[in-house]
Amino acid sequence: MIRELKFNGLWYPSDKGELLKLTKSSPKTDNKDIFGVVPHAGLYYSSSLIKLFFDTLKPDINKIILLTPSHYFSLKENIIISGNFDLYKTNFNTIEGFSLDIFEQGGERVTINEHAVEMVLPYIGQRKNIKLCCAHVNRFTDVEKASEYAKKILSSIDDKTAVIASSDFTHYGINFNYTPYGNIIDSSLVNKVKQYDKNIANLIVNGDGCLAYSEYALKNNSTICGMAAMLVVSELARLKKMKGRILDQSTSIKGNSFDSNFVSYISLAWRE
C-alpha cells in the first residue's frame, strides 16, 4: 500500500521549490538527537520548530517511528495502532515503510487521513536511505500503559532508530472550548499559556511524564492533542537515561494580531 499526499497545496506549498525553502534542514555539527517532539500545524506555522529537530537529528538514523494522535477517527484507550505501508509519498524522496508487530494493526485509514503524519513527511523525505513506521495513540488511562509500550519499542529498535512524537501543545479559545484564563486574548494571556506549556514540556523532557499527565493534563482538561504520544517518547528517553531539552517555543499568533483562538507549539529533543 502507498500513502499518497492528502494536504499537499493546502497545509503547505505544492511547489517543490517553495516547500524546500520552507522545510530545508541545516544540519548542525552537534547533531546527536534521537528522540523528539515536533508540532504538526500547517507548515506556515510549524516549519521552523520541526526543522530545529531535524537539524540536530543523528546523521546515521535509518529508521523513524512517528507517533501521532488521531484527529479524525476515535481510537480505543491504551492502544497504539499502526498500518502497513510499502511507501510514503512526499514532494521529495519516496519513503520506504516498515511495520512493528508490537502495535495493533489495521490503522491504515488513520495514517492516510492524518495531517500529524503528513506535516513531518517533507523533512523525512529530504533524507536518503531511511524507513518510516507511523503509529497512532489518543489516550492512556495512566502513564504505566505508556511505559509498557515504551519498553516494547525499546526492545524492537536499535541505536539508528529515531522515535518522534507529533504534537501541538495548548489549543486555546472558544473554538477549542478552552478558556481558563478568559476570553480576551492579549500578550499577557498568551504568556500564561506559554508558561503553562513550558512547565509541561520541562516535566516531559526530564522524564516526569506521570506528573505532567496527572497534575497538568488531567486536572486542567488539557487540549494538548499528542500528550499520549509524548508520554511514550518521554518514557523511552527515561529508560535510556537520555538528556532532554526544549528546542524552542512559538504560537500561531502572527505579530501583534490577536485572534479569538490560537495554538501553542514546542519542539523537544533527547540525546544520549
pLDDT band at 142 (very low <50, low <70, confident <90, very high): confident
**Amino acid symbol at 41:** A
Place 212 in a pLDDT band, splitting at 50, 70 and 90: confident
Rounded CA separation 158/242 (Å) = 15
Among residues 172, 196, 170, 167, the alpha carbon closest in space to that of 262 is found at 172
Task: Please report which helix (H) or strand (E) contains residue 36, including its range.
Answer: strand 35-38
Neighbours of 94 (CB within 10 A): 13
Query: In this model, does residue 98 exceed pLDDT 80?
Result: yes
Residue 51's pLDDT is 97
pLDDT band at residue 81 using 50, 70 and 90 as cut-offs: very high
Q: Are 91 and 125 in contact (CB under 8 A)?
A: yes
Domain of 131, CATH number, reads 3.40.830.10
The answer to whether the beta carbons of residues 136 and 82 sit under 8 Å apart is: yes
Q: What is the pLDDT of residues 217-253, one digit of tens each?
A: 777 788 999 999 999 999 999 999 999 999 999 999 9
Q: How many domains does the chain have?
A: 1
Is residue 257 over pLDDT 90? no
Is residue 18 predicted with pLDDT exceeding 90?
A: yes
In the chain, % of residues over pLDDT 70 = 100
List the domain range (segments joined by +) for residue 14.
2-271
Percent share of the chain, pLDDT over 90: 89
- pTM for the full predicted model: 0.96
The cell 507548515 sits on which residue?
Answer: 43
Mean pLDDT score of the chain, rounded to an integer? 95
- Give residue-wise pLDDT tens across range 190-203: 999 999 999 999 99
Which distant-in-sequence residues (6+ apart) come within 8 Å of 10 by Cβ?
42
